[in-house]
Amino acid sequence: MNNITRVGIVGTGLIGKGIALEVEKQSELKLSTVLTRRDISTMNEYPFREALTNSVDELIGNCELVVECSGDVIYGTEVIDQAIKASLPVVTMNAELQVTTGSYFAKRGFITEAEGDQPGCLASLHENVLEMGFKPLVYGNIKGFLKLDPVLEDMEYFSKRNGVRLDMTTSFTDGTKVQVEQVLVANGLGAGIAVEGLLAPSSDDLNETGAELAEEANRLGYPISEFVLAPKAPPGVFITAEHDSRQKDALRYFKMGDGPYYTILQNFHLCHLEVVKTIKRVINGGGVLLNNGEDPTLSVAAITKRTLQPGEKVDKGIGSFQVRGEAVRLATNKNHVPIGLLVNAVMKRQVEEGEIVTFDDVELPESLALTAWLETTNKAPVNI
């Protein structure tokens, strides 16, 4: 790549705009194009209006690296496909896309999730603790609040207050987002889960809860990806790990406790402010930080929040009031529909509250995302 790398961004929301502001500050980076589906003539307040385009071809033709942060699985998949075909490296802040179609692209080109959201932060922390000789047992995400079936009025209030889209606010609240994030972490870092839907213990002491989860990981025989409900804890991530017993006295002196389990906390994740670190990692040859892997073992199924009727339309599953996402094992849920594919879908038969939506239950429109999922899971084409 050139000394100055031209960066193209997909998305103009909170995250996309924030990344653009940070890219423009860097001497070795240049903001080239920003792809949006909005009417550019109405975007006078966007800080880099001259960079805006509605053309995927213009984006691809004018950059050397693509950052995808549209928050849209179906659309993002189409754009990334064009970038990969053009041999461009892709950095995402779109865990929902990664767990749905990321593996399809991991086999075809360079795609990595960025630091900033919890999965990328956990991947970075993972590299750090390995360098210090730790053996990770728990990849932990910290969540302050969870309500599996929030009401519309509350979500509208918090969406407006925080300046975040309604569907995103809802997916944060009902647990879909954290389930997606921890599935990406597990697939990307070679971990598993203790139970489908995750254990999600409540915690007033991360060291104590981390140790309990580490015990479970040792019982299972593999590291686990999890989240804790800890309203008093900082909005970060943690890894609970073992270490060489010969370092026990030193670790006690370093205020890490008596072991055998040690919890290493990163007490923040700063979303778009951290993405530049991953961009620089990529252009400097640092390789993939995290992606969904070529052969994932976990997915995020759509669980109904209420009974869905034949003919009912699901405009978008993630962040809806019809379904929420839950981590599941692919080996035992081969016919589930990933929640990221539930877009403009029509129910074919009744699905009771609390059940997993399967391909037999719903009619999905054709899309590259659907094709990618079927290839990734080695499924024969279904009637779509």
Percent of the chain with pLDDT over 70: 98
Domains contained in the chain, CATH given: 5-116+273-283 (3.40.50.720), 118-269 (no CATH), 298-376 (3.90.1210.10)
At 185 the pLDDT is 98
At 378 the pLDDT is 87
Residues in the chain: 384
Backbone angles phi, psi at 199, to 5 degrees: -75, -40
pLDDT tens digits, 321-359: 999 999 999 999 999 999 999 999 999 999 999 999 999
At 2 the pLDDT is 54
- Alpha carbon distance 107, 80 (integer Å): 13
Which residue reads 């944060």 in tokens?
172
What's the pLDDT band for 384 if we cut at 50, 70, 90? very low
Q: Could you write out the three-class secondary structure of 253-293?
A: HCCCCCCCCEEEEECCCCHHHHHHHHHHHHHCCCCCCCCCC
- Alpha carbon distance 41, 29 (integer Å): 27
Q: Provide the greatest CA pair distance for the chain.
A: 65
pLDDT tens digits, 241-272: 999 999 999 999 999 999 999 999 999 999 99
Neighbours of 350 (CB within 10 A): 13
pLDDT tens digits, 276-292: 999 999 999 999 999 99
What's the pLDDT band for 1 if we cut at 50, 70, 90? very low
Mean pLDDT of all residues in 29-58: 98
Neighbours of 274 (CB within 10 A): 20
One-letter amino acid at 205 equals: D
Sign of CA dihedral 156, 160, 164, 165: positive
What's the pLDDT band for 383 if we cut at 50, 70, 90? very low
The model's pTM: 0.96
One-letter amino acid at 154 equals: D
- Alpha carbon distance 112, 92 (integer Å): 6
pLDDT tens digits, 175-216: 999 999 999 999 999 999 999 999 999 999 999 999 999 999
Helix or strand run (H / E) with residue 294: none
Q: 332: exposed, middle or buried (C-beta count within 10 Å: 0-12, 13-18, 19+)?
A: exposed
Sign of CA dihedral 36, 41, 47, 49: positive
Given a cut of 60, whether residue 380 has pLDDT beyond it is no
What residue ranges in 144-223 does DSSP mark as E strands?
none
Buried b (16+ CB within 10 A) or exposed e, 37-70: eeeeeeeeebebeebbbeebeebbeebbbbbbbb
At 369 the pLDDT is 98
Mean pLDDT of all residues in 19-48: 97
Percent of the chain with pLDDT over 90: 97
What residue ranges in the chain does DSSP mark as E strands?
5-10, 29-35, 52-53, 65-68, 90-92, 111-113, 135-143, 224-229, 237-242, 262-266, 298-304, 313-316, 323-329, 343-347, 362-363
